Structure 1
Amino acid sequence: MTATKADLHRFVGRYVGAADDAQDLLQETYAAAWFAMKRYDPARPFDVWLRAIALNKCRDWSRRRAVRRVVRGIMGLDAPEALTVDDDTPLMESTLDDRRRAQALQHALAELPDALKAPLLLAALKGRSHAQVADLLGITPKAVETRIARARKKLAEKLPSST
């Protein structure tokens, strides 16, 4: 089964948290795959190979972004814009709350360290087994399990409870 553009875009988008950046990284991924096609091993699944390239592009993006933050001295580049809703639209309020929760999740995911973010996205959101994730990342399945647990704990700490 090969990875579709939409599937890979969702993966990259969840990793970086910004649609424009995700689109740019997706294009970089396909360009890198095209140039690296001679190195592709047909014995491995193509979608795993393509996802590994995308993951490397995401990691590179995260490192560049961290450097820019340090150089500029800016720590909050992803501050969500204020959204306003009229009082006479109760249905819109629930949609707005859902959107704010989704933005908070995207922001929290984007802030996770790469070592925790990649296993979480590959296993929990993409449905890969711990063994598949371990193979892709070059770590043990137990390390995958531990990193996913740590990522979930960090997300729970950063996200407001919905009670």
Structure 2
Amino acid sequence: MYLYTKAVHIIFVVCWMAGLFYMVRLFIYHTEARLKSKQEYDILHKQFMLMESKLWWIITTPAMYITIAAGLMMLFINPALLTTPWMQVKLAFVVGLVIYHFICQKFMAKLKAETLTWSSTKLRLWNELSTVLLFSIVFTVVLKSAVNWIFGVVGIVGLSIALMMAVKIYKKYRVSKEA
């Protein structure tokens, strides 16, 4: 039973993460749509609201709940896991990911109400946080260490810094191309 539950857990982690990654991309495009004419923006705004709502309520949020349920089931089947330091670290990162999820939900509501003030650049950087959390969780689980995950995270933080620099360079390139 444990391995079946673990398989379901992994499958829905993939679905949840795909939803989170794509959702923030939609937020970026939704935010950038404000630069269009009023008529174009009104059409795009309605379309983005529809896409975001379906992705959030049909895929991303159910996947989060199934991931959590399967994870809790694994802990119920093997409660000794809770005594291991690596599991405690993993669960802390999972709590961070759940908080990230609900902040994204607030962003979706603010975009719908047209009150989100974040720029597309800031949203691009926000998108990297879920990647850092995912790397932290995976390294912690695979290495089964409360400490060794740090090396993997240091690598992803380095990658994130490189990505942030690439985002800034791309933004400058887009601005210069539009001028």
TM-score, with length taken from structure 1 = 0.33
Looking at secondary structure, tell me which structure has more helix per residue.
2
- Which structure is higher in RCO with an 8 Å CA cutoff and minimum separation 6? 2
TM-score, with length taken from structure 2 = 0.30
Larger radius of gyration: 2
